[in-house]
Amino acid sequence: MKGSRVCSILMAAIVGVSLSMSASAQETLKIGEINSYKTQPAFLGPYKNGMDLAIEEINKEGGIDGKKVELVIRDDNSNTGDAVRAVEDLLARDKVDVLTGTFLSHIGLAVTDYAKHKKVFFLASEPLTDKIVWEDGNRYTFRLRASTYMQVAMLVPEAVKMNKKRWALVYPNYEYGQSAVATFKKLLKEAQPDVEFVAEQATPLGKVDAANVIQALADAKPDAMFNVLFAADLAKLVRAGTQRNFFKDLSVVSLLTGEPEYLDPLGNETPEGWVVTGYPWYAIDTPEHKKFLDAYQAKFNDYPRLGTIVGYSAIKSLAAGIKKAGGSTDTEDMIKAFKGLEVETPFGQIVYRPIDHQSTMGAYVGKLAKKDGKGIMTDIRYIDGADVQPSDEEIKKMRPAD
């Protein structure tokens, strides 16, 4: 009898613990996030901060449908094989409810393909390649950030205003750089038929030989340049070009260069007058951005970067989607919720377009200048992503039917 009673007590305790663990699991919503933290820390450190701020705000407000939000992160090592294995771990071992992330375009495409074949919902937060929502698009994948096409389309009108005929091109030789240059050539040629592309330098990502690149570009005697390099490659290009006076009297449009992640390291070497896309956090005076900025600085005692906006808005998008789906994270419910989903972000309201699953998040365009030895953007204006998209007819031709 005594042994039986002890056994009963133990069984009751085990059942109680099991029920407690089950209840705890039910009270937590797991967001699985994968990214290139080790190889791209300048962007992804602030990005992680943005996600953390969004999760803190959501949990303070009671979570999503009463469930607290938890972030589970994996690093993809900028390798597609590692990325797929990490995603499988997140889903099978960590039992995450939804999936988001990726930075480099080829990693984003690999996870997009995985989502298609495994039929899981995926919000691509950062990768810029157009293929994610067009040629390789699928019903399971949505994308937050303004795409390569969208940001190039923001810069082309500025390039046309320069009225230059001979253009040089420099870009990292992988999907993002290749697609950016292809779009620039197409759109600029349509707007200015007499334009010539007199030099093209495709460099290995993270391994630019800046001196030789500048020499090759200079030999072609261009009037203007379109640059797609970023991070350390950008800094090396700017230094080599400045030392050789290559940028003197040269008109330049440059993708992403106004983002603090890439502009801040240039410091006093910032090339003035370049027309860029970026994030002038210090000059945006909208109510929604001020609210976000105050909260971020209070939490981190630092200023946000563009990555912060992306990370924060990705989590807010997932929260809005789950709420619209009635608290469900079922794949089909999430797909239905995200089509036409409206989300409030520090850049204002965005919408996830039903036609291609691309959000309408825009970007800022302006000119580079220096102030107190630091690079800044001036003459800024925000361009809504909805205003720089191809026609619906063109998208239908590019995107496979869901």
Is residue 13 a part of any domain in this protein?
no
Residues 6+ apart with CB under 8 A from 89: 74
In order of 96, 105, 265, the CA distances from 357 in angstroms are: 22, 16, 34
Which pLDDT score is estimated for 317?
Answer: 98
One domain, residues 265 and 332: no
One domain, residues 244 and 373: yes
One domain, residues 159 and 221: yes
Provide the CATH number for the domain around residue 106: 3.40.50.2300
One domain, residues 274 and 333: no
Whole-angstrom Cα Rg for the chain: 23
pLDDT in tens, the chain (402 residues): 444 454 444 444 444 444 333 434 458 999 999 999 999 888 889 999 999 999 999 999 999 989 999 999 999 999 999 999 999 999 999 999 999 999 999 999 999 999 999 999 999 999 999 999 999 999 999 999 999 999 999 999 999 999 999 999 999 998 899 999 999 999 999 999 999 999 999 999 889 999 999 999 999 999 999 999 999 999 999 999 999 999 999 999 999 999 999 999 999 999 999 999 999 999 999 999 999 999 999 999 999 999 999 999 999 999 999 999 999 999 999 999 999 999 999 999 999 999 999 999 999 999 999 999 999 999 999 999 999 999 999 999 999 887
Which pLDDT score is estimated for 12?
Answer: 45
What pTM did the predictor assign? 0.90
Instruction: Please state, in angstroms and rounded to a whole number, the distance separating the CA atoms of residues 350 and 15.
Output: 46
Which pLDDT score is estimated for 79?
Answer: 94
The order of strands in the sheet holding 98-101 is 68-75, 28-35, 98-101, 122-124, 141-143
**Bridge partners, residue 237, by sequence:** none
One domain, residues 188 and 213: yes
Is residue 61 a part of any domain in this protein?
yes
Enclosing domain of residue 170: 149-284+364-387
Which pLDDT score is estimated for 5?
Answer: 52
Residue 361 has φ and ψ, to the nearest 5°, of -55, 135
One domain, residues 68 and 178: no
Is residue 115 a part of any domain in this protein?
yes
Is residue 108 a part of any domain in this protein?
yes
Is residue 60 a part of any domain in this protein?
yes
Instruction: Please state, in angstroms and rounded to a whole number, the distance separating the CA atoms of residues 273 and 284.
Output: 20
The order of strands in the sheet holding 224-227 is 196-203, 166-172, 224-227, 251-258, 275-278, 363-371, 374-383
Two tokens at 46?
């602030």
Task: Provide the number of structural domains found in the chain.
Answer: 2
Which pLDDT score is estimated for 311?
Answer: 97
One domain, residues 222 and 301: no
Instruction: Please state, in angstroms and rounded to a whole number, the distance separating the CA atoms of residues 293 and 281.
Output: 8
Is residue 238 a part of any domain in this protein?
yes
One domain, residues 178 and 291: no
